[in-house]
Amino acid sequence: MAEPKISLKDVEHVARLARLELSEADKERMRRELDSILSYIDKLRALDTEGVEPTAHAIPMTNVMRDDMPRPSLPQEDMLANAPERSGEFFRVPRIIEE
Amino acid sequence: MSAPSTYEAVIGLEVHAQLLTRTKMFCGCSTAFGAAPNTQTCPVCQGMPGTLPVINRRAVEFGIKTALAIGCAPNALNRFARKHYYYPDMPKNYQISQYEEPLAVHGRLDIEVGGAARTVGIERLHLEEDVGKLIHEGALESAQSSNVDFNRAGVPLMEIVSKPDLRSSEEAAAYLKALRAIVIYLGVCDGNMEEGSLRCDANISLRKRGATEFGTKVEIKNMNSFRNVQHALEYEITRQTRALDAGERIVQETRLWDPDKSVTVSMRSKEFAHDYRYFPEPDLTPLGVEATWVDEIRATLPELPAARRRRFIEAYGLSPYEADLLTQSRALADYFEEASEGFPKPKVVANWVLNELLREVPGDDEKALAACRIRPAHLVGLLTLIEDGTISGKIAKDVFEKMYRSGETAQAIVSREGLTQVLDEDILRRAVDQVLREHAKVVEDYKNGKKAARGFLVGQVMKSTQGKGNPAAVNRLLDEKLPKV
Amino acid sequence: MLASLTVHELGARFRRGEATPSQAAQAYLERIDALDPQVRAYLTVTREEALKQAAAADLRFKSATPLGPLDGVPIGLKDVLCTRGIRTTCGSKILETFVPPYDATVVARLREAGAVVLGKLNMDEFAMGSSTENSAYFSTRNPWDLARVPGGSSGGSAAAVSADLAAATLGTDTGGSIRQPAAFCGNVGLKPTYGRVSRYGLIAFASSLDQIGPFGKDVEDAALMLRAIAGHDPLDSTSVDVPVPDYAAELGKGIAGLTLGVPAEYFIEGMDPEVKAATRAAIAALEKLGARTQPVSLPHTEYGLAAYYLIAPAECSSNLARYDGVKYGLRAPKARNIVDMYSKTRAQGFGREVKRRVMLGTYALSAGYYDAYYGKAQRVRTLVRRDFQQAFERVDLIVAPTTPNVAFKMGEKEDPLQMYLNDVFTIPVNLAGLPGLSVPAGFTRTGLPIGLQLIGRPFEEATLLRAAHAYERATEWHKRKPALP
């Protein structure tokens, strides 16, 4: 069997970066699935892309900007209406510093 | 602790300046300060699903303008990139910033510390969006929850990163002062460090003198004034020197300056090296900055602080100290020059501007200076009255204050209150004679060697003339008569 | 029966006074009540709103001042498009309660055109999938065989049109999510050129690939819908300022003189032989109508899938970072601190496929992997684009199958990689930013629809529609309807 492309440690690291809590079972399943996908993607390595510019935009354009003209903001209530937790005029979030 | 010359401090500063555009970097919400929480937001700056950013052209102009003022070459092409990290003041959990292709690179800023001139290199200048404001319920360390206000999220920021060319806390403060003066002059930022429209972070490491490799660098944050920058860096130099002397390794970390305790404190964070996962922002186009645009902007550059300061010394014969203070803002420098045009004794004008005007108005507050009731022409009027002897310098100071409050001209106040100086020698002679008669004891004291008694006598003469006696004449007459009594 | 009419037929009835928009809305709503429990196309039906809008349209027709060809026409919107005041879920639990305070630009344009919104349509969660089985709510069924998938991610949009549960719908296409379901459900689905239609208000999956497009019962309907939504939007920096032709007016021009390219790489091992046969038959029909055909080669086709499965997840991992429980949507209860809240919220709110792609994308962008993965994929993307550029120097349109096989059974494709292979013919078109459509091209022996794909040069949707229209007129596949109980 080919060498695994991604380890369990990699999965844990990426899950932390992505702020996704994964159970032990999830982690192993995820590792297997990502491994299989990454193996498929590996065929790209065979392609010589020396000197080829990356495509950042499929339809190339430059210099799209707007004037410094004010547009009305949305009312406070509209912006807070979807808040899972609010404190008066603010969005409320739990403790920021980890133990 | 080892002698100060064992280690060399290597310092770089990262300055963030909030731009004075009317609207945010990527949406049309107002950037005005002081609105009620979450009232200056829209789906875009709050990062609601489905929204897209659109670049504010004026922010780009301000960036190019600043780049030119600090000798940076604007890149022919610059691009925005997403910088990812999770924090509740980040609406999208990525910040739209610039990474591999910033607005401008490689500039320089000249500074002067203790008479020595130095050139500090500037690595890059780029644009990005500001984050929201967190208000912790209590201290950050112990808060069980925090509140988020997104009004500030999306405000345009210009980040200027110096090369690690600074070698002392004084140099760092001087660099920051010079940079601040420039952005204020250009009108791109109001430079208010207390309110956070100009922020400074430092990277500092020590190395043995003569070494070429860099030591481990520590990032210092939360320095919101020149003094704090200087003190924080001084503290860090001491801390790191002690550690190195004791054979300890310097930990690469971020430390916060605590201005109350005057120490830097390590920020407890598990992610000591952020993986920002930068990639080019797909929702925005790259910006091609053409030479014609750069030239248009270059033509709008005002005379910069350093050049103006030099000109003030040479053309007006001012001292470096005076020139420094007078050029702290464009508005103040303009004020001085306009007044000097009407009253061609620059030293006198400088004296009044620096001592009397700055007592009432902060010298770096462009708005306050523009709104000040004493216009340069009014100052000229006052100085002319002193010059031609109509009023004494002492009276003039009172008049100045009255002018500041009422907006009237000096002439109007002097006329109305009858403050015209008494020059008539007959009147003064009679006043002097009277005082000498009434205060024979004091005269006696003076003759017995008590020099201070003379001052008392002068005061009495001035009192009897309601302060309007010409001081020079009063003194002369007193000196004439005293020996004869 | 009103609900079986096309948009243009309905419009004609309205204008002739033979039917009213209220009657049409009522007819569709009744049909939704009767059949949607089996088809399950709708996530949200906005009954009251729809009847109100229809009533307003009635008045306009009464006073002979209709807004245009879409006035009073009942339509459905994929639940990835923000609709003010109407819950928008993206097929995900994490947005189960999200009610946008704004309309997507395309929604605003349809409203301005007088269209009547029947509701929001089911989809694979965050547009990730090819079967609509990834919806967090339920799976939509293929009206032609309720045990089979309608395709995805715009499964609800496609099924609704085939089952006459809407006169026309909007979907989105990032790797084939309009064209593939159109092929599986036997209707017309068009993905415009990247930048043709504004993405403002489209909840982003992969920013450089996403486009909004119409599903229609026939080509003319798709043309009418496209005209209403296309055009530059200052709120979307990637939308292109190119005039919008009157697509419907161009339809009858025929295809004599056009050259069609037939790509060798789109006839692969393992594809359904009936799909192959139908495609060849369609090409023959097009030749009979006056088009010339010639073989073309798109040699990097097989790499397109791999490149897509790096680019799309990378961009999605970034676009989905904002779903964190802070400002909208689901928040996991009883979190110890904010990191815990983020991690639990996203774990609970995202489905398996979304998590997979977020993980894959985060990995591809992470430190040390960017160049090998994302960077490499973007270069391969350039090679795919070049393939098409070169082909279009010799041909006007490319004709190919839309999918390698027809609608499969629910639950049949468990392996993610197997599912991804569905999009092998559609993905390269997104990578290149080109316009593409799927038009009904026959049925299998068991009565399942087969789609023919047409691909054009940037902004040549008119040519695509013209060719599709000519083919449609000659074959009449579109007139067949599924037999629903």
CATH number of the domain encompassing residue C89: 3.90.1300.10
| Domain final residue pick, B369, B397, B417 | B417
User: Do residues B331 and B376 touch, judged by C-beta distance below 8 A?
Assistant: no
Span A53-61, average pLDDT? 87
d(CA B410, CA B415): 9
Distance from the Cα of B371 to chain A's closest Cα (Å) equals: 25
User: Do residues B226 and B173 touch, judged by C-beta distance below 8 A?
Assistant: yes
ipTM above 0.90, yes or no: yes
| Domain final residue pick, B417, B450, B467 | B417
The domain in which residue B354 lies consists of 302-417
- Count of A-B CB contacts under 8 Å: 121
The token duo for B446 is: 């003076």
Position B451 scores a pLDDT of 85
Partner-chain contact B86 C235, CB within 8 Å: no
Catalytic annotation present for C153: yes
Same domain for B18 and B46? yes
Is C326 a domain residue? no
Same domain for B60 and B207? yes
Position A45 scores a pLDDT of 86
Catalytic annotation present for C62: no
CATH of domain A1-48: 1.10.20.60
Position A1 scores a pLDDT of 46
Is C337 a domain residue? no
**Segments making up each domain of chain A, as ranges:** 1-48
Among C363, C378, C455, which would you mutate to test the A interface (most chain A Cβ atoms within 10 Å of its Cβ)?
C363
Position B477 scores a pLDDT of 87
Same domain for B139 and B210? yes
Partner-chain contact C237 B82, CB within 8 Å: no
Partner-chain contact A20 C336, CB within 8 Å: no
pLDDT digits (tens, 9 = 90+) for A32-47: 999 999 999 988 988 9
Same domain for B164 and B281? yes
Same domain for B168 and B231? yes
The domain in which residue C420 lies consists of 2-260+394-479
B283 touches chain C (CB under 8 A): yes
Among the partner residues B38, B55, B59, nearest to A79 by beta-carbon distance: B38
Position B165 scores a pLDDT of 96
B28 touches chain A (CB under 8 A): yes
Chain B residues within 8 A of C339 when measuring between CB atoms: 86
Position C418 scores a pLDDT of 81
- pLDDT band of A99, cuts 50, 70, 90: low
d(CA C400, CA C279): 7
Span A79-97, average pLDDT? 93
B262-279 burial code (b ≥16 CB/10 A, e <16) = eebeeeeeeeeeebbbbb
Cross-sheet strand order for the sheet of C211-216: C42-45, C116-121, C74-78, C168-173, C211-216, C188-191, C436-443, C449-456, C397-401, C259-263, C292-296
Total domains in chain B come to 3
Position C479 scores a pLDDT of 93
- Residues in chain C with pLDDT < 70? none
The token duo for B150 is: 């997104």
| Domain final residue pick, B417, B441, B465 | B417
Is C452 a domain residue? yes
User: Do residues B324 and B318 touch, judged by C-beta distance below 8 A?
Assistant: no
Among the partner residues B55, B84, B148, nearest to C318 by beta-carbon distance: B84
Chain C residues within 8 A of A42 when measuring between CB atoms: 306
Is C301 a domain residue? no
Position A87 scores a pLDDT of 94
Is B2 a domain residue? no
Is B308 a domain residue? yes
Catalytic annotation present for C237: no
Chain B residues within 8 A of C212 when measuring between CB atoms: none
β-strands C188-191, C211-216 pairing: antiparallel
- Residues in chain B with pLDDT < 50? 270-272
Is B310 a domain residue? yes
Same domain for B216 and B263? yes
Same domain for B322 and B205? no
Same domain for B382 and B445? no
Is B227 a domain residue? yes
**Facing residues of C215 across strands?**
C169, C189
Partner-chain contact C200 B52, CB within 8 Å: yes
pLDDT digits (tens, 9 = 90+) for C245-296: 999 999 999 999 999 999 999 998 889 999 999 999 999 999 999 999 999 9
Same domain for B269 and B211? yes
- CA nearest neighbour of C362 among A11, A82, B256: A11
